[in-house]
Structure 1
């Protein structure tokens, strides 16, 4: 593998499947991260979404807090600045964010763990724009999972019925300008993601760093047409660490750049809440014995981790 995180064109999944699957799988085995271009989500759609998200975060603090649901783990709506704290970190992250979840019928079997979305009435077009981006990223994530499934000898559609009601989250984030140089906090402390895979749209602002296998921090600032996709802990556990969930962070930029706000929008793709995360037999080998003797449901795992990062 190169010392640089690869970027691949997902259109090759249709035109050059075998080679694409091999290259994508190798990138994830080495890095747990890859850039995906040729994804088909129009730049205009992404730009319009960011414009709306910026308008929301520019609202007065008391207006935004009307959409905060205490005790909900930030599942839907607004989470204020200074709440989320990376696991084992002493200092909270320098960010505020909003959560959009899957729209499901309120008589669904998952309704008790997947609450209804909140929508800011101050920005009428927020709902259509945000959920449009949610749907586009959900579909792209399904294609990436199809390629990853093939790479480890599973059927292409292995994940389809395990994620079709997934408790996935679109998270527009605002990192406000940093006005002092001597704070111990960073925009996002070193962490791994909880879910199956994360798709980060609009990752062209610098600050994201990925920890290599050698323990070095590698900056990963993607081109504007590229979506960064990384492995989360649930997929790492399911694949017995064949696909590693790599530590990453968002560092504070130097000098005057720190005085600028930063925005990013990850999409956290989750399995259905009752999906049982049990190590896939095909990933257990003499060199890689089973690391997790006990299975756990996706919802049970999620709740465990939300407590660790101070959201519950």
Structure 2
């Protein structure tokens, strides 16, 4: 029985966080099982670069079906430079091998946005575990970083990111920004495909993503030995969508939860990104699209590295359910993206750092 599953004499349930709130799903087997997905679909993304609108619309149809039925899909043949991706994974391995004191220079507890280094077991999405068995580094939108070429305003004038200054770690910032820029460009194209999948003009969301909220979380998952451990607990993401590039391992560590409460493995695939819909797009579609629960459990005996890129609308953007998906007579709330993001950050992220009195709880950030 995993850390996120409970059983009674007649029933078994999977527990998770969905939209920042605890949830659970009954495990259904045999005659009780419902029609749901048993694998993550693969979609050829070469058409995203086509100048023919009909090609992009055909791609959007496949993407829309995956968003409605699964909430996850593989973006195959994404077109992002493979050598750059290989170099970035090399930088991840090099960074996480650095001495702890070098990494702790940018400990995420030093910033309001929890940017920087997160040590092992500091995140704790599943309260039944001793913590998430991973270490990571979080960066994101920051107008004071010249690499992002963003306008500096009173609300964005304070630095958000932290970067190491030790000579042994100076390779890290340029390596991450090469990845950041490539994923940012691809995400802008992806947003057009999502708009077409919703029967909207492909530029529909452009006005609210002029300065989008973005994050990269570089993550290292060591091999797990305890069955009670989890790399990261079961949850949904709180952004527009997530692109994941994961290292090649023989044993799949990323798992997504289907409608029957069964964990479906997401195998590493060459020349692919794993794409998942997150809470903002679920909200904007009135629940038509799935923000699917997922987790990481690394039991293959290998070191695993992952680089999720999170893309959201502008921090001050106001969003609600798109007009043609609204039901007659129902009221729909409008929410400010940055406020919702911070609320989810506060709910989902906890650390149990030693506060001098044993175990203490603090809020945390990241993936």
User: Does the alignment reach a TM-score above 0.5?
Assistant: yes
What secondary structure is seen at the aligned counterpart in 2 of 1:168?
strand
Q: Within 5 Å, which residues of 2 pair with 1:65-84?
A: 65-70=104-109, 72=111, 75-84=114-123
What secondary structure is seen at the aligned counterpart in 2 of 1:111?
coil
Q: Contact 2:129–2:230 (CA<8 Å) still a contact in 1?
A: no
Q: C-alpha root-mean-square deviation of aligned residues, in Å?
A: 2.3
Q: Contact 1:203–1:221 (CA<8 Å) still a contact in 2?
A: no
2:153 & 2:159 partners in 1: Cα distance? Answer: 9
Of 205, 211, 215, the match for 1:165:
211
Q: Contact 2:80–2:182 (CA<8 Å) still a contact in 1?
A: yes
Q: 1:100 to 1:142 in 2, by over 3 A?
A: same
- Rg: which structure is higher? 2
User: Are 2:50 and 1:12 equivalent residues in the alignment?
Assistant: no
Structure 2, unaligned stretches of length 5 or more?
1-35, 145-150, 351-363
User: Are 2:81 and 1:42 equivalent residues in the alignment?
Assistant: yes
Q: Within 5 Å, which residues of 2 pair with 1:206-221?
A: 206-221=252-267
In the alignment, what sits opposite 1:262? Answer: 304
- Cα deviations across residues 254-304 of structure 1 (Å, max 9, x unaligned)? xxx33x321111001121111113222221136xx85x7332211111111
Q: 1:109 to 1:136 in 2, by over 3 A?
A: farther
In the alignment, what sits opposite 2:170? Answer: 124
Structure 1, unaligned stretches of length 5 or more?
none
Q: 1:12 to 1:141 in 2, by over 3 A?
A: same
User: Are 2:68 and 1:29 equivalent residues in the alignment?
Assistant: yes
In the alignment, what sits opposite 2:289? Answer: 243
User: Are 2:197 and 1:197 equivalent residues in the alignment?
Assistant: no
Deviates more, 1:5-14 or 1:69-78: 69-78
In the alignment, what sits opposite 1:141? Answer: 187
What secondary structure is seen at the aligned counterpart in 2 of 1:245?
coil
Q: 1:69 to 1:40 in 2, by over 3 A?
A: same
What secondary structure is seen at the aligned counterpart in 2 of 1:156?
coil
1:261 & 1:74 partners in 2: Cα distance? Answer: 28
In the alignment, what sits opposite 2:230? Answer: 186
User: Are 2:152 and 1:107 equivalent residues in the alignment?
Assistant: yes
Q: Contact 1:79–1:96 (CA<8 Å) still a contact in 2?
A: yes
Q: CA deviation at 1:77?
A: 1.5
1:118 & 1:86 partners in 2: Cα distance? Answer: 26
Corresponding pairs, count: 303
What secondary structure is seen at the aligned counterpart in 1 of 2:40?
coil
Q: Contact 1:203–1:227 (CA<8 Å) still a contact in 2?
A: no
Q: CA deviation at 1:90?
A: 4.8
